[in-house]
Amino acid sequence: MVTSSLIAALFLYLIVFMGIVTKILNFMKNVLTTIFLLVAAAQYSVAQNQLNAELTVDLSSAPQEYSPMIFGQFIEHFHRQIYGGIFEPGSKLSDEQGFRKDVIQALRDLKVPVVRWPGGCFVSSYHWLKGVGENRIPVYDKAWHVEEPNTFGTDEYIDWCIKIGAEPYICTNAGTGSSVWRKARNVVSPMTI
């Protein structure tokens, strides 16, 4: 039997679903508008300037040294980059710590020199102390609107960097709270002793 509370719940779900669809359509409209404007601007620029390019290779010059750090990477708690990507405890593809062995080998083969974490939007509300030690509490990820289980934290990141042979590059939270820098310093200090 259909009750009024069931109808109200279905109506609420429909409203939420339509809100999500509207946001997606607006986002796609903005992306397509941006692409159209960029293509139009590029065509106008080429038509006005008839751009030319030239490349000269001087084989007699001395090789230039560069820092291998320019080939660094980053990882972010988005979709399956961390959970199910590099960290999947219990999987037959993972080692005893839960790190994917195939990913570790691929990154060793690529000789990734440095990995920044937490990368992207995730860092803007991530608090370091909640990702250190044994007793971690899941937190709501404001960037992606999902619950972050907090099982891959600072400790796991450092261990993972060691396994792939990369230098860790830890980002600090500059998005929430006035004491973020102090918190970051308190977490990094024990790692550098």
3-state secondary structure of 155: helix
Least confident of 65-69, 95-99, 133-137, 185-189: 185-189
3-state secondary structure of 43: helix
What pTM, to 2 d.p., does this model score?
0.61
Cβ atoms < 10 Å from Cβ of 87? 22
What are the extents of the domains in the chain? 1-53, 68-191
The mean pLDDT of 37-60, rounded to a whole number, is 75
Are 85 and 73 a contacting pair, CB within 8 Å?
A: no
Enclosing H/E stretch for 104: helix 101-110
The mean pLDDT of 135-163, rounded to a whole number, is 88
For the chain, list the strands marked E by DSSP.
Answer: 73-74, 114-117, 139-141, 146-148, 167-170
